[in-house]
Structure 1
Amino acid sequence: MTGFIEGVQRSQTSLFPDQLDDWIGGDDLVRVVDLFVDELDLSGLGFNRAMAARTGRPGYHPATLLKLFIYGYLNRIPSSRRLEREAGRNVEVMWLTGRLVPDHKTIAEFRRTNGDAIRKTCAQFVKLCRRIGVLKGDCVAIDGSKFKAVNNRDRNFTKGKIASRLAHLEADVERYIDEMVRIDRQEEGEVRSERVRHLGRRYGRIRQEIDRLKEMDKALADAPDGKISLTDPDARAMATSARHSGMVGYNVQSAVDTETHLIVAHEVTNKGFDRDQLSPMAITAKKALDRDKLHAIADKGYFSGNEILACQEAGITTTVPRPATSGNAAKGMYVKADFTYDAERDVYICPAGEELTYRSTREERGVQIRRYWVNGCQTCPMQSRCTTGTERRITRWEHEDLVDAAIQRLGRDPDPMTLRRCTVEHPFGTIKAWMGHTHFLTRRLKNVRSEMALQVLAYNIKRMVALIGIQRLMQAIQV
């Protein structure tokens, strides 16, 4: 008697061997993956070789490889090499694939060649959530987050980075030349020869680096956006929220349902700003939710008159704060927000009670801007806090009533910006925690989009399990 619970002897045989199915519980998440993929129309989604070929060597069914990938992203195993190892030792994966062990090249090639179909599969799960009645809200929060690419910062080039690097290298060249002249004059013997040879070698390496950077500078002239990344050509240098920092990566956009926190739409871009992404994301979310009208909330980085108007024309109400572009408020001076607009009379009323009347309209950056001003500011006692000119002028976008309505919504309770932060930042944090302190595994934008689609699909599956449970989800899939 040892006093401990003892395991089975490794050499012990069993008269009736266990079935794989006996090792998988009825409420195991792997059963959701198996059932979901089996219910998909893989041929309709566009997966390669969904129909068996009459001739040639048989290949793996796309359902097998898709199940393998979904399982991998659900369990933080995105690497094709790691998935190959799991297929040979993980009981859940053995059950899922029927004890097939595809090699890592086959696994990676499946993800590379079926990108569009994988993204459609992610959309199919959102459609399933809507069909079973979980997604029924009319409000989404939109945000973007930067994700690292394979590309290192030292292998990303712009005109400014090359100019700065060349300036430092040219200074090093001058320093080495001066040092060699000094050694030649002041030192003698073997020590002098060795130091000169050492400096000569370093000088040669610097000259090679200067020549390489100059060639890169010439290549930048042909780059469409003036940027080159050597490891991942589609990755771009992007600023992050941390001060004086940045990364080479991609900008991932998402629209999250404020009620369930499910990601209803997402996209990956290599643009470092969010300003042009409001209407594309909101319209995609509206289609995914199949609603006639939608309310979209975003932060000030998405503020754009044209984007707000495009959303309005698509039946989408947007709440986006206007960014502060003037520093006058910090100086104690009046800003545009201190002027009241009278829509019926089409005038602005200044803090002193004077009316700024409409004067003219002109086009600026593709939008119509109306201009208002008042004469007599020189005799106003508040002029020093209002303007340094002879009259105070106010501009108004022709559709600024949409912005005014958004400002009114921002003042309501609950605060839309608080709702946005509590909704859209959680999925990004969860996915980044799953990825760890690493980067996308694939290169090029189309492949990164496939990888992100698998991350989003894994997040949504786990979120649905948290909302309704595994058994209800499986029953809904089979309906």
Structure 2
Amino acid sequence: MSNQLITKDNYNMEMSLFPECEEEKQVCQNTETQKSNKPKEPNPRKLAPTFKPYNNRQVHMIYDIESLISEHHEARVVDEMVESIPDEKLFSYYVGGGRSPYHPKLMLKIILFGYSQKVYSCRGIAKLTEENIPAMWLTAMQQPDFRTINEFRGGRMKDLMDELFEAMIRKLIEENYISFENYFLDGTKIEANANKYSFVWKRATSKFEEKLKEKIKETLQHIHKLTQSETQPEQLSTDQEQEITEQELIEVAEELEVKVDALTEVIENETDKEIRKEKRQERSQLKKSIKQIREDFIPRMTKYKEQNETFGDRNSYSKTDKDATFMRMKEDHMKNGQLKPGYNVQMGTENQFILYYTIHQRPTDTRCFIPHMEKLADSSLPMPKVVSADAGYGSEENYVYSVGEEKEQRFEFLIPYGSFVQEQTRKYKKDIKNAKNWTYVEEDDCFICPNGMKVTFKKYQNKKNQSGYEQSFKIYECEDCTDCPLKAQCTKAKGNRQVHWNTIFEEMKAKAKAALECEEKTAIYAQRKVEVESVFGHIKGNRSFRRFSLRGLDKVNVEFGIVALAHNILKVAGIRQLLSEKNRTTRKGKGEIRLVFLPCLIF
């Protein structure tokens, strides 16, 4: 670059570092100028944007809010179901006088509709009455407060829930939605409305209670030593075999207080310092024992007593909801097998309708079968003809109940036992340790083991399970297994091989096996997964109901009853909608004229 002075005129020229780019830029500018100089073609039409009339400040009048609800909407099914209940049944739970409450049918409709819309909180249901058109129609534009809804759901519905559910199931039977011929039973665990860390374990309570009893005995022995020079009352007996009660501890504390008062008088009247010092020490020890009895022993005894009464036949409960039991849930996000407080919901279905349900505090399904069926028998609903359930219900107790005590079968059952599937395998049939694969000689009442030795009858033995049901076993024992080459494959026992044979259970298992191998009944049992598992998936997956909102066994029973009714209502609405669409398609295919009337607003 030359030393020429850069001025305003030659600035752009001198500061250009890329002269080639500048040339290309100049060519492009010339081309655009030529294009712009060409004459433009005139636009033949100029279209202005148009919109549908819209003015949300205009006054709107709705003469009939019902006309805005579709024909097969679930709100109409709710209205129909609740209106079918006679008023006398609902009014019988009310006492006259005072301020007029909301109509019970209004409250039932809005709660059922709210649960059908996945709204489970009372505040959410109350909000529906202000914003949702079907909810406004069901309540006739009335708006009950969320406290009123909560009081009705948790209080009033406890008394009428069972009768309400049975009335709606009978209506489904009348309309041929269900027949109660096939009853598909299964259980699921739903988490309780409780803190998962507020657990109380029965084993821990028993351990602490035993330690408390030992400490009480040691304290009574210490008290006996302190007052051994005087005549002791019967309450201070330290017999190790006799357990002292709470009332006896109170009497001991009262006796010690009398002695403390007596020592206080002695100290006040005594002039010798050494004797007064000795008496003060003795009184201090007695006061310490009294404080320990009243502030530690008695409260803890009361606490453990209340805990044992709450446990019942359970192994745990939650402090937040004392009716909830800690169970293993399928929703284990931490993958550590954490137990959570919950309830075991037993439910029977047909055509994916919920026929009946019960709430249990036991984690296993086996012990819930008989209470569930007993409650169903006590209701006004008919007993099913065939009950289908999985292997978790296949126990001797449940089989005997199904058959009946007088050998008059209550209902047919399609319930496999625990080893039913395993017994169908080739490996099981060839396993020599299974006594079922041995030869049985009925005349001698003995088995012949694979080594050719007799396994003869030895004795009878009775055992009781957790529910108190007594099972009878026949004990068979081999003659001699000393030099048997097959003993390692046959048994791990050090002595002779024994066979515990439950005659009644084997007879019931043979009956269950024969039923499950029947082609007609096998087809019925195959529907079980489609039936009840689909309902559980709809409730917990589609409807997102995985945790109760209420606490206590009675209130939980009410809440799941609402969930079950909402499920059935949605099922009815879906079936009606499907049938309506089929009829509409059929009519359209026949060439019939279809007229659709839309509501119009006139101002």
Relative to the length of structure 2, the TM-score reads 0.61
Q: CA deviation at 1:150?
A: 1.2
1:443 aligns with 2:551: yes
Please give the alpha-carbon distance, in whole angstroms, between the structure 2 residues aligned to 1:454 and 1:344: 60
CA contact under 8 A between 2:449 and 2:455: conserved in structure 1? yes
Query: Given residue 256 of structure 1, which amino acid in structure 2 is its aligned partner?
Result: T
In the other structure, the counterpart of 2:126 is: 84
The CA deviation string for residues 193-219 of structure 1, in whole angstroms up to 9 with x for no partner, is xxxxxxxxxxxxxxxxxxx9xx99983
Q: CA deviation at 1:249?
A: 1.2
Q: CA, structure 1 residues 401+98, in 2 after alignment: closer, same or farther (shift >3 Å)?
A: same
Query: Given residue 192 of structure 2, which amino acid in structure 1 is its aligned partner?
Result: A
Query: Given residue 371 of structure 1, which amino acid in structure 2 is its aligned partner?
Result: I
Correspondent of 1:24 among 69, 73, 88: 69
Task: Identify the structure with bigger relative contact order (alpha carbons < 8 Å, sequence gap 6+).
Answer: 1
Query: Given residue 6 of structure 1, which amino acid in structure 2 is its aligned partner?
Result: K
Query: Given residue 38 of structure 1, which amino acid in structure 2 is its aligned partner?
Result: E
Q: CA deviation at 1:227?
A: 3.4
In the other structure, the counterpart of 2:145 is: 103
The CA deviation string for residues 414-454 of structure 1, in whole angstroms up to 9 with x for no partner, is 47765333322211121112553752111111001100000
Equivalences for 1:204-223 in 2 at 5 Å? 219-223=303-307
Q: CA, structure 1 residues 160+402, in 2 after alignment: closer, same or farther (shift >3 Å)?
A: closer
Q: CA, structure 1 residues 137+104, in 2 after alignment: closer, same or farther (shift >3 Å)?
A: closer
Deviates further, 299-308 or 78-87: 299-308
SS at match of 1:398: helix
The CA deviation string for residues 349-383 of structure 1, in whole angstroms up to 9 with x for no partner, is 65567665554333211222233344355565533
CA contact under 8 A between 1:130 and 1:289: conserved in structure 2? no
SS at match of 1:10: coil
Correspondent of 2:488 among 384, 389, 395: 384
SS at match of 1:101: coil
In the other structure, the counterpart of 1:458 is: 566
In the other structure, the counterpart of 1:267 is: 358
CA contact under 8 A between 2:72 and 2:573: conserved in structure 1? no
Please give the alpha-carbon distance, in whole angstroms, between the structure 2 residues aligned to 1:343 and 1:72: 65
In the other structure, the counterpart of 1:401 is: 507
Please give the alpha-carbon distance, in whole angstroms, between the structure 2 residues aligned to 1:399 and 1:217: 44
CA contact under 8 A between 1:369 and 1:396: conserved in structure 2? yes
SS at match of 1:310: helix
Query: Once the two structures are aligned, what percentage of the paired residues are identical?
Result: 23
In the other structure, the counterpart of 2:418 is: 323
Relative to the length of structure 1, the TM-score reads 0.75
Q: CA, structure 1 residues 310+96, in 2 after alignment: closer, same or farther (shift >3 Å)?
A: same
Q: CA deviation at 1:401?
A: 1.0
Q: CA, structure 1 residues 468+435, in 2 after alignment: closer, same or farther (shift >3 Å)?
A: closer
CA contact under 8 A between 1:265 and 1:284: conserved in structure 2? no
Equivalences for 1:262-301 in 2 at 5 Å? 262-284=353-375, 290-291=382-383, 294-301=385-392
Q: CA, structure 1 residues 217+443, in 2 after alignment: closer, same or farther (shift >3 Å)?
A: farther
Q: CA, structure 1 residues 398+58, in 2 after alignment: closer, same or farther (shift >3 Å)?
A: same
Please give the alpha-carbon distance, in whole angstroms, between the structure 2 residues aligned to 1:45 and 1:342: 66
The CA deviation string for residues 36-76 of structure 1, in whole angstroms up to 9 with x for no partner, is 11110243267632x8x3x4211111010001111011111
Correspondent of 2:346 among 240, 253, 278: 253
Deviates further, 347-356 or 454-463: 347-356
Q: CA deviation at 1:470?
A: 8.4
Q: CA, structure 1 residues 456+379, in 2 after alignment: closer, same or farther (shift >3 Å)?
A: same
1:145 aligns with 2:249: no
Please give the alpha-carbon distance, in whole angstroms, between the structure 1 residues aligned to 2:163 and 2:486: 60
1:132 aligns with 2:170: no
Equivalences for 1:43-442 in 2 at 5 Å? 43-44=88-89, 48-49=93-94, 53=96, 55-113=97-155, 114-136=157-179, 138-158=181-201, 219-223=303-307, 224=309, 225=311, 227-241=316-330, 244-257=337-350, 260-284=351-375, 290-291=382-383, 294-313=385-404, 315-323=410-418, 334-339=433-438, 348=447, 350-351=449-450, 356=455, 358-365=457-464, 366-378=470-482, 381-387=485-491, 388=493, 389-411=495-517, 414=522, 418-436=526-544, 439-442=547-550
CA contact under 8 A between 1:47 and 1:117: conserved in structure 2? no
Q: CA deviation at 1:146?
A: 1.0
Query: Given residue 321 of structure 1, which amino acid in structure 2 is its aligned partner?
Result: P
Please give the alpha-carbon distance, in whole angstroms, between the structure 2 residues aligned to 1:34 and 1:84: 18
Q: CA, structure 1 residues 284+438, in 2 after alignment: closer, same or farther (shift >3 Å)?
A: closer
Q: In the comparison of the two structures, how many residue pairs are matched?
A: 416
Please give the alpha-carbon distance, in whole angstroms, between the structure 1 residues aligned to 2:149 and 2:552: 18
In the other structure, the counterpart of 2:83 is: 38
Please give the alpha-carbon distance, in whole angstroms, between the structure 1 residues aligned to 2:445 and 2:121: 61
Q: CA, structure 1 residues 398+68, in 2 after alignment: closer, same or farther (shift >3 Å)?
A: same
In the other structure, the counterpart of 1:175 is: none
CA contact under 8 A between 2:166 and 2:381: conserved in structure 1? no
**Unpaired runs of 5+ in structure 2?**
1-46, 208-295, 465-469, 581-603
Please give the alpha-carbon distance, in whole angstroms, between the structure 2 residues aligned to 1:378 and 1:4: 102
SS at match of 1:128: helix
Please give the alpha-carbon distance, in whole angstroms, between the structure 2 residues aligned to 1:91 and 1:344: 79
CA contact under 8 A between 2:477 and 2:496: conserved in structure 1? no
Q: CA deviation at 1:319?
A: 3.3
Query: Given residue 433 of structure 2, which amino acid in structure 1 is its aligned partner?
Result: Y
SS at match of 1:57: coil
Please give the alpha-carbon distance, in whole angstroms, between the structure 2 residues aligned to 1:346 and 1:284: 42
Q: CA deviation at 1:298?
A: 2.2
CA contact under 8 A between 1:334 and 1:385: conserved in structure 2? yes
In the other structure, the counterpart of 1:193 is: none
**Unpaired runs of 5+ in structure 1?**
165-211, 473-479
Please give the alpha-carbon distance, in whole angstroms, between the structure 1 residues aligned to 2:542 and 2:387: 27
